[in-house]
Structure 1
Amino acid sequence: MVNNFWFEAKNINCFKNGVRVIKDLNLKISHSENVILIGPNGSGKSSLIELINRNIYPVIANESKLKIFDKELINLWELRKRISTVNNEIKNRINPYLQVFDLILSGLYGRYCYIQNKSESDFYKVEEFMNKMNIKNLSNKYFSYLSDGEKQISLIARALIKKPDVLILDEPIANLDYKSKFFIVDKINELSKLNTKILCVTHDISMITEIYDRVIMLKDGKIIADGYQNKVINRENLKNLYGIEVEVTKKNGYWNINRLSK
């Protein structure tokens, strides 16, 4: 029997430095859905990513269960092949004078440096992939010369080149100007046409576009809302999530929140 879920958590609790960062997590994510996880800073979003990537482990209890790709014990090498994560710390690992083409190619080798003995098939694979993502114009640019938005999409392309089952995007538009934000949001929307499913983690409601089948709201390590966009995104849930009175609107497939008077 084929399991429909790549992630299954039942009554999961996790601690970091003595603090419970994941509280009674019950969550299933299927192979067929793009999911966006939204919550304020300190809500446990990064801890959930660490749990998925096996960087932190749950407390073992009789009633708890954690499965990734239907395995309670999964080989870390298999996990790295099947899940790619892009976060803002990766930028610091990149040689500023590495060209974008070589950066993306390095993803095939699981490294962040220039690959000396690349095969001809890998060369064509990267060329074809950059054409598909419509970023061929970045090919020969040095990483340090890119805009913040271009850096982000180059890292996303590097993560996707090995065709993972799941792409985790950790705050993909954090610290970007409006032009770069729109650039990244548009590119991520285009990525939904690929076979890789997206788990996007953000505090910014403007990231939520039509490609996401499901919205999960996380606060203080607990899920407080979970479901379709039009069901979950409302004034009451956002007040509960952020602790402020807001009004929420949707226009041309994009959500916006405005703060109401104090």
Structure 2
Amino acid sequence: MDSISLTEDGLTGPCPMCERKKTVSTSKKIENIIDHTSILLSITIVLSRYFRNFMGSQCKSVIKCTAKVQKLNNMTLLYVNDGCTVMIEARKFTVRSFRKNIVGPLDFTFQNKTIILGSNGSGKTSIVKAICGLYPYAGSLKVNGNEVSSIKASGMVAANIPEIYSIAGRVYDIAEIFSEIGGLDLAAFMDFLDDMNLKKIAEKPFGSLSTGEMKIAMAAMSFSRKPSVLIMDEPFENLDGRRRAIMIDRMLNYEGDVVIVTHEIEVLKHFGGYSVHFLMDGMMQGPVESSALSRSKIVRGEASGSIATLIMGGERYSIVEGGEPGEGILSAGTVDRIYGA
């Protein structure tokens, strides 16, 4: 295992089953395989996929060995949680796939506590994956002034998306791996699961979890890595009322910044002081302060005294506080429903 090496062609090391040297190819030069959450994460995912047919413990031992390459090519694993404010800034930012724009071009700035509201399929998750270094993009996307595509070492951001945590093995095995290469606090991880009354899933293979269990496992890993900014993509989906309340409480008491990506408008009432951005009609619109928004109604056209104007379905709508005629924002429930305002 000590002979694992890293080159532009990929990772080379002994197979845990036959000890013959094999190379795990990567699709890009290693300096371009970036994940904000850990410089080793994409390497880990590539390696684990290659060895996915091996026994869990053997696969786990191979993945752990990737930690030994953390200083190759002058790249150092750096986990950052110094309490600093993190700014995420995009200019002419576009995510493309198969020569088509998934989302963008967009201009936005996220700082401190942020909510991104958008309907299903609007491109919210694609933005999260680009911020985490998992999706290529055009234009500029910076975290604290550093272009994401050129960052070689950072642990400022953690997100609850499957691509980060879909590694072969039990849930606890994955948590152990991230405790070694990503700063995860195992005690905090188990405490989160216990709070959700789901400690039992720690012994289950990650791929066997239900959608709700997977959502909680990913949230537990993200929270227990204690990043400066925690990005939660649709964190309330498939959760019952009790677990939903616990998730909200965890976010409200998190010491770092939180970015909540959701289509659920109803949750605004819990997150006063957040800046709310709307991803609608291919544009990032806003921000609007969440407390003011939760007291507001939406009306068609331009209204005097409005706190914001949105473009939805090619038409202009106004967000107004108080007794203006129209539909209450919170009563809509989800972003999809306000398109019928």
Give how far 1:7 is off: 0.8
Whether 2:263 is the aligned partner of 1:203: answer yes
Alignment match of 1:42 (pick from 107, 121, 128) = 121
Q: What amino acid does structure 1 have at the position aligned with 2:287?
A: D
What SS is found at the alignment partner of 2:109? Answer: strand
Of the three residues 142, 146, 159, the one matched with 1:67 is 142
Name 1:108's counterpart in structure 2.
179
Q: Do the aligned partners of residues 242 and 43 (structure 1) sit closer, same or farther apart at CA in structure 2, a change above 3 Å counting?
A: farther
Q: 1:83 aligns with which of 157, 162, 171?
A: 157
Judged with a 3 Å threshold, the aligned counterparts in structure 2 of structure 1 residues 260 and 227 are, in CA distance, closer, same or farther, namely closer
Partner SS for 1:158: helix
Match of residue 17 from structure 1: 98
Q: 1:154 aligns with which of 217, 223, 226?
A: 217
The 3 A distance-change label for structure 1 pair 261 and 150 is closer
Amino acid at match of 1:226: P
Q: Unaligned stretches of 5+ in structure 1?
A: 60-64, 112-121
Whole-angstrom CA distance in 1 between matches of 2:86 and 2:166: 33
Using a 3 Å threshold, how does the CA distance of structure 1 residues 240 and 128 change in structure 2: closer, same or farther?
Answer: closer
SS at match of 2:138: coil
- Are residues 185 and 70 of structure 1, via their aligned partners in 2, closer, same or farther at CA, if it must alter by over 3 Å? farther
- Which of 56, 60, 67 is equivalent to 2:136? 56
Residue 243 of structure 2 corresponds to 183
TM-score (norm 1): 0.67
Q: Which amino acid aligns with 1:85?
A: A
For 2:312, the aligned partner's letter is N
Indicate yes or no: 2:232 matched with 1:169: yes
State the TM-score, normalized to the length of structure 2. Answer: 0.54
**Cα gap change, 1:182 to 1:138, in 2 (>3 Å):** closer
The count of corresponding residues between Structure 1 and Structure 2 is 231
How far did residue 4 of structure 1 move? 5.5
| Counterpart Cα distance in 2 of 1:235 and 1:154 | 36
Q: Deviations over 1:114-152 (max 9, x none)?
A: xxxxxxxx8xx4225544775385435433687654442
Residue 194 (structure 1) shift: 2.5
CA RMSD of aligned residues (A): 4.0
Distance 1:108 1:74, change over 3 A: farther
The separation in 2 between residues aligned to 1:48 and 1:84, in whole angstroms, is 14
Distance apart, 1:57 and its partner CA: 1.8
Which residue of structure 1 aligns with residue 48 of structure 2? none
Larger radius of gyration: 2
CA distance in 2 between counterparts of 1:51 and 1:8 reads: 12
Per chain length, whose mean CA-contact separation is higher, i.e. which structure has more relative contact order (CA < 8 Å, sep 6+)? 1
Distance 1:238 1:138, change over 3 A: same
Contact (CA 8 Å) 1:87, 1:172: kept in 2 or not? no
Q: Once the two structures are superposed, what CA deviation does each residue of 1:220-259 show, in whole Å capped at 9, x if it has no partner? A: 331133211244453247893799x9833659xxx84678
Check the 8 A contact 2:268/2:330 in 1, yes or no: no
Alpha-carbon spacing, 1:66–1:107, altered in 2? closer, same or farther (3 Å): same
2:279 counterpart of 1:218: yes
**Equivalent-residue separation in structure 2 for 1:238 and 1:76 (angstroms):** 34
SS at the partner of 1:235?
strand
- Structure 2 residue aligned with 1:192: 252
Q: 1:218–1:241: 8 Å Cα contact kept in structure 2?
A: no
Structure 2, unmatched stretches of 5+, are: 1-83, 300-308, 318-325
